[in-house]
Amino acid sequence: MYDAGKVILGVVLFLAILLFPVWYNLAKGQTDAEPELAEPVKGETCVAPTDYMRSNHMDLLDDWRDRVVRDGERIYVDFTGNKHEMSLSNTCLDCHADKAKFCDECHTFMAVEPYCWDCHIIPEATTAGEVTHGT
């Protein structure tokens, strides 16, 4: 094998380029901390446990959308038997009123752009913490 030195050099360069982001972040010595989400302004229980909502809220909202639009269902029965209206604006944002401090903080951290607001009106938080849902 006459080109062993070139092959080894190529592999080393490839690995250096591939692993540069890892080395850069380690050298920077700073990790991004998870955002602190705002506490709900009202409501004692959520439609699901906190751990479930953190990782699966998008699936729940997609399921709600499909059931409301396709099947005409409007009521969701949660894990404890409580009934909730299947509505982002009227259920979720009634308790989690500050969209900027609740939704946007996490979505920005995760670098995702949900399409909720393509159809829904963005609520305007008032000074008293109440939400106006627009017309």
* Residue 2 predicted with pLDDT over 60: yes
Reply yes or no on whether the pLDDT at 96 is more than 70: yes
pLDDT per position as a tens digit, 19-59: 998 888 788 776 667 788 777 877 777 899 888 998 999 99
- b/e for 111-121, b at 16 or more Cβ within 10 A? eeeeebeeeee
pLDDT grade, residue 135 (50/70/90)?
very low
Exposed, middle or buried, 86 (CB in 10 Å: 0-12/13-18/19+)? buried
Task: Single out the residue of 64, 62, 76, 73 nearest to residue 115, CA to CA.
Answer: 62
Global pTM reads 0.66
